[in-house]
Every structure is written in C-alpha cells, then in structure tokens.
Amino acid sequence: MWDQLGAIMGGFDPLVTVGLLLASFVASFITVAFGIGGGALLLAIMASLMPPAALIPVHGMVQLGSNLFRALLLGLYVHWPPVLAFAVGTAVGVGLGGMVVINLPPAVVQIGVGVFVIWSVLLRPPAWLSAQPLLTGTISSFLTMFFGATGVFVANFTKSLRLPRQEHVATHGTLMTLQHLLKVVAFGLLGFAFGPWLGFILAMIVAGFLGTVTGRLLLTRMSDHGFKRALDVILILVSLRLIWTGLGDWLGR
C-alpha cells in the first residue's frame, strides 16, 4: 500500500508522502480559518522536496483546488464588486509575468512582497488597495508567476475592504482561484507537463479539501476581532519569513 501511495505521489518516500498530505491539510486549514498563510507554508515545504522547475506550476495547481473548494463552501459570502476588475488585472499580470518569468531573481520578489505586506499591516493600507482592484490583480498576478504564494499580497487588498471574517475568506478564496487558474493555464502554454504530476496534485487537493472543511468549523466560531488579530499576526510572520529567505538567497548568490 505504501509503495503504491508513493508511486502516485511522484515516487516520494512513504514518510515524505504522508508529510506532504498532512502539509496540504494543515495549509488549507490555516488559510480558511485565518484567511492567509497556508499557501506560503505549503510552498516552503514543497520547495524542500520537489524539483525547482516543477515547484511553482504544481503548487499553483494544488492551490487552485484548495481555493476553489474554499470559494465554493463560502460562496454565499463572496463580495463581488471588485472581482471582475481583479480578474482583468490578473489576466494582464499573468501575461506579463509569463513573458519574463525566468529573468527576475526570486529573492527580489520575496523581499519586496514581505516588506510591502508588513508596511500595509502596521500602517494604514494604501488607498489604492481597495480603490484599484485591477492594479492589485495585475501586480499580484505578475508576482505569482515568480514567487507562487502571493496570497499575502491579495489578503491585504481584501483586508482593506474591511469585510467581516466570512466575507473576507470567501472573497479572498475567489480572487485566488482566478489567479491560480490563469497561472496554471499560462504555465501549460509555456510548456510545463502537468501529466506526470496529476496523481500527486489530486491527492494533495483531496487532503486540502479536508483541511478546508475542518478550518471552516473554526472560522464560524471566531469573532471578527479575533479573526483580524490572528490575520495580522500571520501576515507579519509569513512576511518576515519571506524577507529572511529572500535575503539568504540574495546574499548567498
């Protein structure tokens, strides 16, 4: 049984296989319960185990499944006004990112996103975050082609809308679904072969779905105040990790 599971999961060792499935569960649980953080956590774990060339597109497919389930489970709470403009910006950003995806050092993106998010959490979010969903969609989608987990960036846009916790999570999930969908399409057009990874992707999505359902139970029991405090703490911690990793990569060049 373990050998078969390992074969389905890309030939990984059985313990690694279980660890990856658990990571997908925990990442989705964190994201739906607290609004953000799971995608970056999962990316960090996958980065230590997967070929670099496959990391961003495969992570994007797994996150597509996770965010889609989250958006569907909380579909009645989606705040729709900014979605269309964000979708247009996403298409522009993914298109631009696909043209130069191999040229920008990942460390620059990590440091830039981390600094921006901490600034937005500790200070008042810039007005254009809530006023310009098209611009937010463009920038975040451009960055996701290089870095992968730009949910922290999009979460600051959603946070600036000052929505109650369930509306926040539902809207964020919808925006991230659009972003990951177009990113996956772009990587397919650029020639990435998803076929050998389909078993791995499906297993990770199923584990993520279970984490989403479990996390939703916690979400409904949290106060808006408690949710926003937890969201700020997670945003800062994830951003500090991005900056630390980016600096380490940059100085190690």
Mean pLDDT split into 10-residue runs, the chain, 253 residues: 55 78 87 73 78 83 89 90 94 90 70 78 73 89 80 83 88 94 93 89 92 79 70 80 84 72
How many domains is the chain built from? 1
Domain extent, residue 53, equals 2-251
* Cα-based distances in Å from 144 to 1, 29, 152, 223: 36, 21, 11, 31
Q: What is the pTM of this model?
A: 0.81
Phi, psi of 49 (to 5 degrees): -125, -15
**3-state DSSP of the chain:** CHHHHHHHCCCCCHHHHHHHHHHHHHHHHHHHHHCCCHHHHHHHHHHCCCCHHHHHHHHHHHHHHHHHHHHHHCHHHCCCCCHHHHHHHHHHHHHHHHHHCCCCCHHHHHHHHHHHHHHHHHCCCCHHHHHCHHHHHHHHHHHHCCCCCCHHHHHHHHHHCCCCHHHHHHHHHHHHHHHHHHHHHHHHHCCCCCHHHHHHHHHHHHHHHHHHHHHHHHHCCCCHHHHHHHHHHHHHHHHHHHHHHHHHHHHCC
- Which are the contacts of 125, defined by CB distance < 8 A and separation ≥ 6? 156, 159, 160
Q: What is the pLDDT of residue 181?
A: 96
Q: What is the pLDDT of residue 7?
A: 56
Q: What is the pLDDT of residue 93?
A: 94
Q: What is the pLDDT of residue 119?
A: 79
Q: What is the pLDDT of residue 3?
A: 56
Q: What is the pLDDT of residue 54?
A: 82
Phi, psi of 162 (to 5 degrees): 55, 50
